[in-house]
């Protein structure tokens, strides 16, 4: 788990620059989907986002540039892309609104756990495989569902595979959330509250 101990506070690193560029693609994606409805270019933005998501993590480890800013930017970019995609697809009537609402609702519940973590001196929980698998499924599901917004055979196949990824992704997303909440509960039960330090 990440503590408040001294960590790498660099901002200007190559992985952080990639994460920032990925964040800049969020409004571009929404404009492409909701404005001119250029789905092909929107899919390109998602593909580039997926590539940089892998690349920034790999470079951070390879170049020893794992930083506090990067640990924040990377999951924030993932969540914003998921949020942007579900809003865009829901407004286009590609996915139902219950699906679009269920994902940010889970994230809101997770953010609500952060103040509890801080009482024990922690700022975040470790990212486990289940959460990564959920994000992986969702980041594949929504481009396929966008590609499936048509009537030809390719669109139909994309829709089938897209919904398969989406159903698994939503299930894993919430399952990971339950596990995070359980981890917080165990931490609160077994760790003494952090004592406040006097401000000099």
- Would you say residue 116 has pLDDT above 60? yes
Structure-block tokens of residue 44:
């390109």
Residues 56-104: tens digit of each pLDDT: 778 878 878 777 777 777 778 878 888 888 888 899 888 898 888 998 8
Identify the residue with better confidence: 37 or 70. 37
pTM value is 0.72
Structure-block tokens of residue 163:
């919904």
> Sorting pLDDT into bands at 50, 70 and 90, what band is 11?
confident
- Would you say residue 3 has pLDDT above 50? no
Do 126 and 3 contact (CB within 8 A), yes or no? no
Angle at 192 between CA 188 and CA 196, to 5 degrees: 115
C-alpha radius of gyration, the chain, whole number: 19
């Amino acid at each position: 788990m990440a503590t408040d101990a001294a960590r790498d506070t660099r901002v200007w690193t190559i992985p952080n620059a990639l994460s920032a560029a990925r964040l800049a693609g969020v409004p571009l994606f929404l404009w492409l989907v909701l404005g001119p409805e250029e789905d092909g270019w929107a899919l390109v933005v998602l593909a580039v986002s997926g590539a940089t998501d892998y690349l920034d993590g790999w470079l951070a480890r390879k170049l020893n540039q794992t930083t506090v800013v990067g640990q924040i930017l990377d999951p924030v970019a993932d969540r914003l892309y998921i949020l942007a995609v579900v809003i865009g697809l829901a407004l286009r009537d590609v996915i139902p609104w219950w699906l679009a609402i269920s994902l940010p609702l889970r994230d809101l519940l997770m953010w609500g756990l952060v103040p509890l973590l801080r009482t024990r001196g922690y700022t975040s929980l470790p990212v486990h495989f289940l959460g990564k698998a959920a994000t992986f499924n969702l980041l594949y599901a929504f481009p396929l569902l966008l590609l499936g917004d048509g009537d030809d055979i390719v669109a139909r196949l994309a829709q089938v595979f897209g919904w398969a990824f989406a159903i698994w992704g939503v299930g894993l997303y919430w399952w990971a959330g339950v596990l995070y909440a359980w981890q917080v509960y165990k931490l609160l039960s077994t760790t003494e509250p952090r004592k406040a330090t006097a401000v000099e």
